[in-house]
Amino acid sequence: MPRREEDNEMIKVTGLEFAYRQSPGKAIKGISFDIGDGEIFGFLGPSGAGKTTTQRIIIGLLRGYRGSVEFMDKERRSWGKEIFEKIGAAFDFPNLYEKLTAYENLDLLCSYYKNNSLNKDELLDSVGLLADRDTRVEKFSKGMKMRLNFIRSLQP
């Protein structure tokens, strides 16, 4: 669904460029996009296209980029850790606690945030994992782990 003019931009990336020190070329060259309030946004592309690098810049794991990355009209470089109360991200490799259950993984993650009012059972149900809420993640298939990883990103 196309975004309306009056919708709020939550993330605005303009002319983003980044080069790794050990690499002769740029990993990202002039990427621009914006993400509206409530919008779910994903990166698709071949290996080496810059998807993970872009995400790492957005969440603050990589610095030294050129261009602009704004959250709610404030440059990324100006944000501290409080930004993590506002955004969620899911990468292609789930980072889950294998010895914990699905519910315990969500419960632990929620404890890191001030706003932890999400209904964990509803989240699990939304991705077909409610029946497995008390199963240790080590017993999950890759697809189940990916679904759990996805709903973890919805926490903030």
Q: Coil, strand or helix: which one is 43?
A: coil
pLDDT at res. 28: 93
What is the pLDDT at residue 7? Answer: 58
Listed as ranges, residues in the chain with pLDDT below 70 are 1-7, 84-94, 113, 115-117, 155-156
**How high is the pLDDT of residue 87?**
67
The sheet that has 74-75: what strands, in order across it? Answer: 28-36, 9-18, 66-71, 74-75
pLDDT of residue 101: 95
Right CATH for 9-85 from 3.30.870.10, 3.40.50.300, 3.90.226.10, 2.60.40.420: 3.40.50.300
Boundaries of every domain in the chain:
9-85, 102-152
Token digits for 49?
Answer: 């296209």
Which contiguous run of DSSP H or E holds residue 103?
helix 102-111
Q: End-to-end alpha-carbon separation of the chain, Å?
A: 23
